[in-house]
Structure 1
Amino acid sequence: MSFLKKCLVAGSTAVILAAACAAGGYYWATTPVQLASAQLDVTLKPHSSLRSVTLQLNRGGVPVQSDLFVLMARLLGLQGQLKPGNYAFKSGVTPYDVLQKIARGDVNEYVATIIEGWTLQRMRAELDANPALRHDTQGVSDAELLRLLGAPEAASGNGEGLFFPDTYLFDKNTSDLAVYRRAYRLMQLRLNEAWAARAPGLPYTTPYAALIMASMIEKETGKASDRPLVAAVFANRLRVGMPLQTDPTVIYGMGPDYTGRLRKRDLQTDTPYNTYTRRGLPPTPISLPGAAALAAALNPASSSALYFVSRGDGSSEFSATLDEHNKAVNQYIRGAQ
Structure 2
Amino acid sequence: MLYGRALEEGQISELLSRAAGGRSAALEIVGEAGGGKTALLDRAVELAGESWRVLRCAGVDGDSELPFSGLQELLIAAGANAGVLPVDSLPSAQADALRAVIGLPVAATVDPFLVGLATLSLLADLADCGPVLCAVDDVQWLDSASAQALRFAARRIGAEGIVLLFASRGEAALPGIHELHLTPLDDDASARLLAAHWPGLRRDMRERILREAAGNPLALLEFPRMDLDALPVGPLPLPSRLSSGYQQQIAERSPAARTALLAAAAETAGDLRLVLQALDALGVDPAGIAEAEAAGLIDV
What is the TM-score with the length of structure 1 in the denominator? 0.27
What is the TM-score with the length of structure 2 in the denominator? 0.29
| Higher share in helix | 2
Greater relative contact order, per chain length (Cα 8 Å cut-off, separation 6+): 2
